Chain A
Amino acid sequence: MKNKTVKGIIALAVVTALSFGIIIGSKALSTDMTGSTGTTEAKVTEELDVNDVENIDKAVKTEDGYIVTVRQKGYGGDIVMNVSFDEAASMITKLEITEQNETESLGSKITESDFLNQFNGIKAPVYLPGMTVGEDGSVEESNSGTADLTVLDNVTFTDGTYTAKAEPDSNGFTEEVNLTVKDGKITAVNWDGIKEDGTKKSVISENGEYVMTEDGPTWKEQAEALADALIQNQSLTFLETNAEGKTDAVSGVSISVGGFISLAADCMAQAANVELTPSHEEDTDTSAQNGTQIDAVSGATVSSTAVVTGINHAYEFLQTISNDSSVRKSTKTN
């Protein structure tokens, strides 16, 4: 037994040494082969001063552009990313996520190539669908979708039946509003979501397949309450919505009413023969011209937004640098 133990331990040591020989040997062999190609990493020519700049950990000027390390709060902690820009500091050439703590298989998908490759060679700033880029590089939920509803007050409606449909939502429901005008007044409003297979939201909320809250009013009851409120007011302006797209204006209604408002407004605009003007049209236009829209990681809005915001911070930071002539000078002397 003792003898066997000694033999075993010696054998273990020898074989381990041999294995390391193989590992290190193969390593030397492979570096020989790749050594000639060299690294593609650009050389750092200058470190930029990032003191007093919030969220920016580090920024360097390289031979062919800039690399900015940004820290941005995500869903599960800070997301740290390296954003590479071209020489003009206006084009994003590469995005790397070096640290993140996002939800596994949801937010953490920001590290996957599908998401990251979107940033290879695009114009900054970036934004997600339905967002606008603010002055300070922050990304905000865009208001451009909601039209100025006051134009629908004090107009005359032409008699008839009007319909407006939305894009199918993530659950497959196409929301639809039917609005009937008789004697210049809105007399009937019907709001429903219909699936491709004909399933109606109103029907399945009645039989309990589509439940909002355990004992609150069903979706159908809430939709009808909204419709009644519209008929009573003959206007949509009473429906003040909060940041979550909900309203306190109609009692018992706890669902998001944004879809209803835009569709009903659409119907009313048809009836009144007026055009709806989005209230923040200018903002969206400029950002659409100057930036690039990015597809978010589905189901991970917070993580995606954090990445986009971080990139825009990096971009804004570089803008301030390049506007600062003293920095530019010192760059040139290099």
Chain B
Amino acid sequence: MDQVRIINGPHLRTDRTTRSIMFHVSLSLIPALLGSIYFFGIRSLYLTGLSVAVCVTTEYLWQKLTNKQVTAGDFSAVVTGILLAFNMPSTVPVWIIVVTAVFSILFVKQMFGGIGNNFANPALMGRLLAMILWPGTVMQYTAPYTLPADAVSSATVLGAVKNGGEAGYSYIQMFLGETPGALGETSKLLLLVGFVYMCYMGIVNAEAALTYIATVLILTFIFGPDGLFTGDILLNLLGGGLILGACYMLTDYVFISRRGRLLYAVTAGIITAAIRIFSHYPEGICFGILTANCLAGGLSFLYKKHIYGTKKA
């Protein structure tokens, strides 16, 4: 027992632990969760709860089985679980949630070394898996119960417009959340409430999110569907999951320096916009952020790194 343990630096400590950060992120997602219960019924709560439970359990079991330090209680798996459920429609079968949650935690997060070492956002990878394996099921969204019509499955507003249809919903409805969509993405208002809370608590930097949103909006406006400068800015902002993606998925702690973070956000924005403009997928957020995740290492070669212990350049 007289072995010396060597711990990598930096050795500075603050009260700010992963646990406290992730706890606040989870809290900030509660307004949107309440919103999804209001819009899509109590099943959203069950689905989110299940997703969180599976994520935390998987993390715990893996860490136990591999004799690693158990960090399942640090709320990061909770955040992944909530975000994963937020990306699914309210009608999604329970087993799809279970499969994607296990996949996200086990294959995307833990097998790459756990929190901080995963190469991409686990919740988004889970969504990508579901999109590829069960596109019909996870991309069929139901209209909120609060609308007079029967809950008929339909595309999101962005999807409907992309396919040449009418939006069918006012910008106000899109902003408040009364549109078909995934559980947590519809109410932009409630997402922003949570995001402002995170900014206030100082756990997230709004710069990257704003840069990302601005990049997507500028590009989709310039290369609009009817020629140059004809894009619908409000539709692109409010019609899909852009705000959810920008506020909660993009803002992983990937880059330490400001320039790197902006470069990362712009990259994700360009890819998202390109997918919205050129592909048949209406959203592109999932692909945009995941690609930027994967390019993060490469992007860091493009600028001079900030070195610890020196003044910022």
Whether B193 pairs with A16 at a CB distance below 8 angstroms is yes
Judge if B49 is at the interface, Cβ distance under 8 Å.
Answer: no
Whether A26 pairs with B176 at a CB distance below 8 angstroms is yes
Judge if B94 is at the interface, Cβ distance under 8 Å.
Answer: no
- In the complex, A1 Cα to B165 Cα: how many Å? 50
- Residue in B closest to A18 when the chains form the complex, CB atoms: B193
Chain A residues lying within 8 Å of B280, measured Cβ to Cβ, are 104-105
Whether B31 pairs with A16 at a CB distance below 8 angstroms is yes
Whether A1 pairs with B135 at a CB distance below 8 angstroms is no
Judge if B299 is at the interface, Cβ distance under 8 Å.
Answer: no
Beta-carbon contacts under 8 Å, B100-147 to A: 135-137, 139-140, 146
Judge if A274 is at the interface, Cβ distance under 8 Å.
Answer: no
**Given A9, A16, A22, A34, which contacts B176 in the complex, CB threshold below 8 Å?**
A22
Whether A98 pairs with B27 at a CB distance below 8 angstroms is no
Provide the B150-167 mask, 1 if CB < 8 A to any CB of A, else 0. 001111000000011100
Judge if A76 is at the interface, Cβ distance under 8 Å.
Answer: yes
**Given B135, B140, B189, which contacts A22 in the complex, CB threshold below 8 Å?**
B189
Judge if A77 is at the interface, Cβ distance under 8 Å.
Answer: yes
Question: DSSP class of B's interface residues: helix, strand, loop or mixed?
Answer: helix
Chain A residues lying within 8 Å of B165, measured Cβ to Cβ, are 112-113
Provide the B179-203 mask, 1 if CB < 8 A to any CB of A, else 0. 0000000010110011011001100
Q: How close is A67's CB to chain B, nearest CB, in angstroms? A: 12
- Residue in B closest to A35 when the chains form the complex, CB atoms: B148
Question: DSSP class of A's interface residues: helix, strand, loop or mixed?
Answer: helix
- In the complex, A9 Cα to B15 Cα: how many Å? 18
Whether A34 pairs with B153 at a CB distance below 8 angstroms is no
Q: How close is B173's CB to chain A, nearest CB, in angstroms? A: 8
Whether B163 pairs with A112 at a CB distance below 8 angstroms is yes
- Residue in B closest to A98 when the chains form the complex, CB atoms: B152
- Residue in A closest to B152 when the chains form the complex, CB atoms: A98
Provide the A59-77 mask, 1 if CB < 8 A to any CB of B, else 0. 0000000000000000011
Chain A residues lying within 8 Å of B200, measured Cβ to Cβ, are 8, 11
- In the complex, A140 Cα to B148 Cα: how many Å? 40
**Given A11, A16, A26, A114, which contacts B172 in the complex, CB threshold below 8 Å?**
A26
Chain A residues lying within 8 Å of B163, measured Cβ to Cβ, are 109, 112
Known interface pairs A19-B193, A112-B165; A4-B201 also in contact (CB < 8 Å):
yes
Chain A residues lying within 8 Å of B34, measured Cβ to Cβ, are 16, 20
Which range contains the number of A residues in contact with the other chain? 35 or more
Judge if B275 is at the interface, Cβ distance under 8 Å.
Answer: no
- In the complex, A98 Cα to B136 Cα: how many Å? 12
- In the complex, A294 Cα to B67 Cα: how many Å? 63
Q: How close is A297's CB to chain B, nearest CB, in angstroms? A: 12
- Residue in A closest to B151 when the chains form the complex, CB atoms: A98
- In the complex, A95 Cα to B154 Cα: how many Å? 14
Provide the A222-236 mask, 1 if CB < 8 A to any CB of B, else 0. 000000000000000
- Residue in B closest to A101 when the chains form the complex, CB atoms: B136
- In the complex, A191 Cα to B35 Cα: how many Å? 66
- In the complex, A103 Cα to B137 Cα: how many Å? 11
Known interface pairs A4-B201, A39-B148, A98-B152; A15-B172 also in contact (CB < 8 Å):
no
Q: A12-B194, A15-B31 are in contact. List 14 more A-B contacts (CB 8 A).
A: A11-B197, A12-B197, A19-B187, A19-B189, A19-B193, A20-B35, A20-B38, A23-B178, A39-B148, A101-B136, A101-B137, A109-B163, A111-B154, A112-B163
CB-CB nearest 6 A-B residue pairs = A101-B136, A16-B31, A105-B280, A104-B135, A12-B197, A23-B176
Query: Can you list 11 contacts pairing A with B, beta carbon distance less than 8 Å?
Result: A9-B27, A11-B200, A12-B194, A12-B197, A23-B176, A23-B178, A24-B38, A26-B176, A99-B153, A104-B135, A114-B164
